[in-house]
């Protein structure tokens, strides 16, 4: 349980004993897993990239239970790994050694949906897609949408400030989360569950928990501002000859579609083959193109939106910016096209091992890393693809290098080069996935030394014994 699988040493935490386990059993009415086989899936992340050795998974149902668990762990110096749907991509949601896993899957109560204000108040363990379905009955929807929506928990989304496919239109969670309730490492419950749009009464402490990846506290409840479910949804799927053309189409889409532009995603040809070849999904047209764009509009009036889309499509065709395109209106066609994009994470895994980078870059440089890396990695026979796709409208590319199996040689060609490249352009080395376990030692590429000191001071203030999600986020 204490062996070093990774180049980090186990912290000076207690080894779990029978008395500890008994305490948890009594507190949770046996909502605890200690069977090693059953613990297995909670120890491994979604993409099977990192794993821990926890022998104890706790499933609280209430904030008070979370508070009692943390007070006990803090008192006894037991390390804790908070876990939602375990769909993170940087190893933040699984233990590194034998941390106790505090899993939020039984915290799934929806307290209130206000159809007029659009405010949703719920527990942290609600699954994103379930919330979206519940909101639909009130004519609302979640402000965020991710490929992992069927599994991820809203508490995990907020704790990682998850971005996703419609951030372009609805903003990130720092904007739409109105309030949170969180439990500090010592068990203290912090009620920041404001449901107000405006509340400038001192520091906005909720922001410390949004994106803190469980190292400052565990989010137990959230209040979120949800937009109306759009009455008109259209999706343009385009094939383009070059990235230059892509940038022109993006600019035109912003100009012509204005407030109805909801998503603007880019997929390069090599990435698209992950969907067509690995996952056997079909493109809506038979030819392949160097780049594909998905441009979705959300509006309240079909006629109005169609007028805007017509102007946009006419303009990009007149200027010969696209090689092919379709406009999907039927929900089933729209869903099928989105599958090509949403299932890429799953499809890449079928290549073998994937080196993943989630990078923000100035828009002109959105794609520039890909050809640079293709050149750098050319001649390495184990590399299957060097490609990029992602949230063009937000300047966030998912740069990926896939190969049959993990290779130190390939890794050394990619890192630290990819981080240096990003840093030189003042980009972010983690646009939306967070830092987790995989990236703490690279934080300095995107954060100044002074801000890292403040991050560490805040960690000490919130969690002086360092029991919450150790080895993660903060550089050693």
Q: Which residues bind ligand AKG (CB under 6 A)?
A: 89, 147, 344-345, 356, 358, 390, 398
Strand partners, 398: 358, 389
Nearer of residues 398 and 465 to ligand AKG, judged by Cβ: 398
Residues 6+ apart with CB under 8 A from 423: 429, 445, 446
Q: Closest Cα partner for 98 from 75, 84, 80, 82?
A: 80
Among the listed residues 38, 231, 262, 256, the one whose alpha carbon sits nearest the alpha carbon of residue 166: 262
Tokens 């363990």 -> residue: 125
Beta-carbon neighbour count of residue 326 at 10 Å? Answer: 15
- Closest to ligand AKG by CB, 275 vs 345, is 345
Minimum Å gap between C-beta 147 and ligand AKG is 5
The three-class DSSP label of residue 361 is: coil
What are the structure tokens assigned to 209, written together? 């928990």
- The least CB distance from residue 449 to ligand AKG, in Å, is 28
Shortest Å distance, C-beta 398 to ligand AKG: 4
Least Å distance, CB 48 to ligand AKG, is 13
Residue 88 near residue 147 (C-beta atoms within 8 A)? no
The order of strands in the sheet holding 80-83 is 32-33, 57-58, 100-103, 80-83
Least gap, CB of 374 to ligand AKG (angstroms): 18
Of residues 268 and 358, the one with the C-beta less far from ligand AKG: 358
Q: Which two tokens stand for residue 8?
A: 């980090």
Least spacing, CB of residue 346 vs ligand AKG, in Å: 9
- Judge whether 162 and 183 are in contact, CB under 8 Å: no
Nearer of residues 89 and 401 to ligand AKG, judged by Cβ: 89
User: What span, in angstroms and rounded, lies between the C-alpha atoms of 31 and 20?
Assistant: 14
* Shorter beta-carbon distance to ligand AKG: residue 296 or 358: 358
> CA–CA separation, 100 vs 78, rounded Å?
7
The radius of gyration computed from the CA coordinates of the chain, to the nearest angstrom, equals 23
Q: Between residues 98 and 358, which has the closer beta carbon with respect to ligand AKG?
A: 358
**Cβ(135)–Cβ(113) below 8 Å:** yes
Q: Are the CB atoms for 225 and 118 separated by under 8 Å?
A: yes
CB proximity list for 202: less than 8 A, separation 6 or greater: none
User: Among residues 49 and 234, whose Cβ is nearest to ligand AKG?
Assistant: 49
Instruction: Please report how close the Cβ of residue 211 comes to ligand AKG at its closest, in angstroms.
Output: 15
CB distance 93 to 156 below 8 Å: yes
- Closer of 25 and 356 to ligand AKG (Cβ): 356
Sign of the Cα torsion 182, 184, 186, 188 reads negative
User: What is the closest distance, in whole angstroms, from the C-beta atom of residue 262 to ligand AKG in the complex?
Assistant: 15
Nearest distance from C-beta of residue 426 to ligand AKG, angstroms: 21
Question: Min. distance of Cβ 348 from ligand AKG in angstroms?
Answer: 6
Question: Which residue's CB comes closest to ligand AKG?
Answer: 345
Give CA–CA dist 36/82, Å, rounded. Answer: 18
Measured from the CB atom, the residue of 316 and 401 that comes closer to ligand AKG is 401
Residue 22, SS3?
helix
Q: Looking at beta carbons only, is 344 or 392 nearer to ligand AKG?
A: 344
Helix (H) or strand (E) holding 220: strand 218-225
């Amino acid at each position: 349980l204490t062996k070093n699988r990774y180049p980090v040493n186990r912290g000076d935490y207690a080894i779990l004993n029978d008395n500890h386990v008994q305490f948890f059993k009594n507190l949770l009415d046996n909502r605890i897993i200690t069977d090693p086989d059953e613990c297995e899936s909670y120890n491994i992340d979604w993409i099977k990239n990192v794993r821990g050795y926890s022998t104890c998974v706790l499933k609280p149902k209430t904030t008070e239970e979370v508070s009692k668990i943390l007070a006990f762990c803090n008192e006894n110096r037991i390390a804790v790994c908070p876990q939602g749907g375990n769909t993170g991509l940087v190893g933040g949601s699984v233990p590194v050694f034998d941390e106790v896993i505090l899993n939020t899957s039984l915290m799934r109560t929806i307290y209130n949906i206000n159809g007029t204000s659009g405010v949703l108040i719920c527990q942290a363990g609600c699954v994103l897609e379930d919330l979206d379905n519940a909101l639909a009955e009130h004519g609302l929807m979640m402000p965020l949408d991710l490929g992992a929506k069927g599994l991820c928990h809203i508490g995990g989304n907020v704790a990682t400030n998850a971005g996703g496919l419609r951030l372009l239109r609805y903003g990130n969670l720092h904007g739409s989360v109105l309030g949170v309730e969180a439990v500090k490492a010592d068990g203290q419950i912090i009620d920041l569950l404001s449901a107000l749009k405006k509340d400038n009464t001192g520091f906005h402490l909720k922001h410390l928990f949004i994106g803190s990846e469980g190292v400052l506290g565990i989010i137990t409840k959230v209040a979120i501002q949800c937009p109306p479910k759009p009455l008109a949804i259209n999706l343009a799927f385009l094939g383009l000859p070059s990235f230059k053309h892509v940038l022109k189409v993006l600019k035109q889409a912003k100009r012509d579609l204005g407030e109805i532009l909801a998503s603007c995603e880019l997929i390069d040809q090599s990435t698209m083959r992950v969907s067509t070849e690995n996952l056997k999904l079909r493109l809506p047209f038979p030819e392949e193109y160097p780049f594909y764009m998905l441009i979705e509009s959300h509006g309240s009036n079909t006629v109005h939106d169609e007028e805007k889309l017509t102007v946009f499509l006419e303009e990009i065709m007149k200027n010969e910016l696209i090689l092919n395109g379709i406009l999907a209106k039927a929900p089933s066609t729209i869903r099928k096209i989105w599958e090509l994009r949403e299932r890429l994470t799953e499809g890449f895994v079928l290549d073998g091992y994937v080196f993943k980078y989630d990078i923000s870059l100035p828009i002109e440089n959105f794609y520039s890393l890909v050809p640079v890396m293709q050149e750098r990695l050319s001649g390495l026979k184990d590399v299957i693809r060097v490609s990029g796709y992602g949230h063009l409208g937000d300047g966030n590319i998912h740069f990926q290098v896939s190969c049959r199996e993990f290779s130190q040689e390939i890794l050394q060609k990619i890192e630290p080069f990819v981080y240096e490249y990003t840093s030189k352009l003042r980009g972010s080395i983690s646009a939306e996935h967070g830092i987790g376990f995989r990236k703490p030692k690279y934080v300095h590429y995107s954060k100044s030394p002074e801000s890292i000191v403040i991050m560490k001071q805040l960690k000490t203030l919130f969690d002086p014994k360092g029991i919450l999600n150790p080895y993660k986020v903060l550089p050693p």
